[in-house]
Structure 1
Amino acid sequence: MGEKKVILVTGGSGLVGQGIRMAAEKNPVADEEFIYLTSRDADLTNREETKAAFEKHKPTHVIHLAAKVGGLYGNMRANLQFFRTNMQINDNVLSVAHEMGCKKVVSCLSTCIFPDKTTYPIDETMVHNGPPHDSNFGYSYAKRMIDVMNRGFNSDGSVCFTSVVPTNVFGPFDNFNLEEGHVMPGLIHKIYKCKRDNTPLTVWGTGSALRQFIYSVDLGKLFLWVLRNYNETAPIILSVSEEDEISIKRAAELVAQGYDFKGEFIYDTTRSDGQHKKTASNKKLLQLHPEFKFTPIDQAIRETCQWFEANYEIARK
């Protein structure tokens, strides 16, 4: 048995944190202790509270998930706020982790960090090649700066600060808010209500935008693999393959199948589609972890619909 790892997961009660918890509990490792930090435990925009949380738990490793997040329209309304809040959180967590002697920090980025004008598929070498899409530039630039800080903290070779770039995550414990949430949980909530109330589904936008979706259960397993095995400074994309990219229209159809919803679909084309596509390559992941198998998307969506229906009263919405 090796030296005990105390792994602090910031944002531990959210979608990805719950996925990590499920993965860690399903396949526990004797020398790993996980602590799931929530916003009730510490305000990570406050350096003193951040440091107090680290002093209390004395982590050797950190999985940094905490962030101010929102869907397309939430970002468009408050880009500056998203930038400032996330810069505070990220600087506090990473600098305190370094100050306290944490050996490894794995931070969660997003495919929105990649340039808006680019070639496809995007890969890990392209993060800083141009400005991100205007719709969420504040959040995107704040996340990019994690990569910059990782380079700085790793410059003396004494620690490993790295990051992962998941594509669109969905699953149990997501934020199903219809105004501020992301597209998949929004569709899951909408279609639940449409089936309940016998009303047509209104999809925002044309439905033509393309996305790669990753199930939070799968992402949790991959986070643990990164924590234990991936030691590069450069980020690694965690995603299904390019051929598994689907349109928002197809996502809506799959959610409808998950609920056995047979009603009408209406597309509100006055709403923005956002970035048309941001196809990511998972070539690096498949080279390093070729045996990993993703959950089929129809199964993952149906399981998430079932979870939301069973937990409707307590789900974030």
Structure 2
Amino acid sequence: MNKTDKIYIAGHKGMVGSAIVRKLQQEGYTNLVLRTSKELDLTNQQAVIDFFKAEKPEYVFLAAAKVGGIEANNTYRAQFLYENLQIQSNVIHQSYVYKVKKLLFLASSCIYPKLAPQPIKESYLLTGELEPTNEPYAIAKIAGIKLCESYFKQYGCNFISVMPTNLYGPNDTYDLKNSHVLPALLRKFHEAEKNKSTSVEVWGSGTPKREFLHVNDLANACYHLMQTYQGTVSVNIGTGKDISIKDLALLIQKIVGYKGVINWNTSKPDGTPRKLLDVSLIHQLGWKHTIELEEGIRAVYKEAFK
């Protein structure tokens, strides 16, 4: 990518898209094409056709998606499947029609089987049943990966996809109904500390383990792969380290300075027992994370709540 090439970042207002915009701007890219969801409805096929016809971007980062945590995924199952399928199909197909030089599609590690061996290799895709609570979202993301792979194989399109682990960072969602576990815990502990509550309720047993990646590290990885990688393997992006939800809660409690009690609501679902990505491929491709978890959470907490 040259500094003046026209680059479209779909979903630039979201946590991932905004991190990619920041990275490109830091690297000196000046010709970024950005549209909010109000300006361009990516689920509307004709709107996407008109946009590509008018703008003709040379590179595309497809970070737009309908996203949420366990409760949102489980509640809005039809919307998560339909809207994500529409967004991906429209953008990927028009990128083919208008001869985009390269496209990077952001999938998600939830596409892997619920009981996949750990750490999860890229080759474990479609080898077992999905986690039921987010199956519609996962199926949509798998379809996006397969679209990129199929356009690569049939038409020779340089479309690649990546599988980030759980993300956190600037522009995250802290709404308790729709947020993921790390921002939800930050919000809960912050409010408990502010309101001098004696206890905080956390969903599940605390035993599942999760891997967390700062979104700035993800943006660096996407930039690196856009410059260096082509192929049909969807590349895992993560830290290669995980932490139990219980230890995560204790770490966030320490960072917030909350002195009360944690009550574990075991009537609520745990989700997948463990989800650690094998990151050996991306390490071989020359990228490694730089932001460690405690440092990253402290920065995010200071920015979002102080």
TM-score (norm 1): 0.91
Cα pair distance change 1:266/1:8, threshold 3 Å = same
User: Are the equivalent residues in 1 in contact too, given 2:120–2:275 (CA < 8 A)?
Assistant: yes
**Equivalent position amino acid for 2:235 in 1:** I
Q: Would you say 1:248 and 2:225 are equivalent positions? A: no
Distance 2:14 2:136 in 1: 21
SS in 2 for 1:76: helix
Query: C-alpha displacement at 1:130, in angstroms?
Result: 2.3
- The equivalent residue for 1:89 is 87
Aligned residues: 305
Query: C-alpha displacement at 1:157, in angstroms?
Result: 5.6
- The equivalent residue for 2:261 is 264
Distance 1:129 1:115 in 2: 7
Query: C-alpha displacement at 1:57, in angstroms?
Result: 2.6
SS in 2 for 1:162: strand
Q: Would you say 1:298 and 2:294 are equivalent positions? A: yes
Which whole-Å deviations, capped at 9, do the CAs of 1:51-100 have from their partners, x for residues lacking one?
A: 22223332101000111111101111222321111111111110111111
Query: C-alpha displacement at 1:219, in angstroms?
Result: 0.9
The one of 53, 70, 73 equivalent to 1:72 is 70
Distance 1:78 1:153 in 2: 29
Cα pair distance change 1:302/1:160, threshold 3 Å = same
Query: C-alpha displacement at 1:116, in angstroms?
Result: 1.7
| Pairwise CA RMSD | 1.7
Distance 1:249 1:2 in 2: 45
Query: C-alpha displacement at 1:26, in angstroms?
Result: 2.5
Gaps of 5+ in 1: 311-317
Query: C-alpha displacement at 1:156, in angstroms?
Result: 4.4
Percent of residue pairs identical: 28
Distance 1:215 1:36 in 2: 23
- The equivalent residue for 2:106 is 108
Which whole-Å deviations, capped at 9, do the CAs of 1:221-247 have from their partners, x for residues lacking one?
A: 111111111111211000001xx2001
Q: 1:16-165, aligned counterparts within 5 Å?
A: 16-29=16-29, 33-156=31-154, 158-165=156-163
User: Are the equivalent residues in 1 in contact too, given 2:17–2:64 (CA < 8 A)?
Assistant: no
Which whole-Å deviations, capped at 9, do the CAs of 1:2-37 have from their partners, x for residues lacking one?
A: 5842111111111111211222233325xx632233
**Equivalent position amino acid for 2:262 in 1:** F
- The equivalent residue for 2:210 is 211
- Which shifted more, 117-126 or 270-279? 117-126
Distance 2:289 2:211 in 1: 15
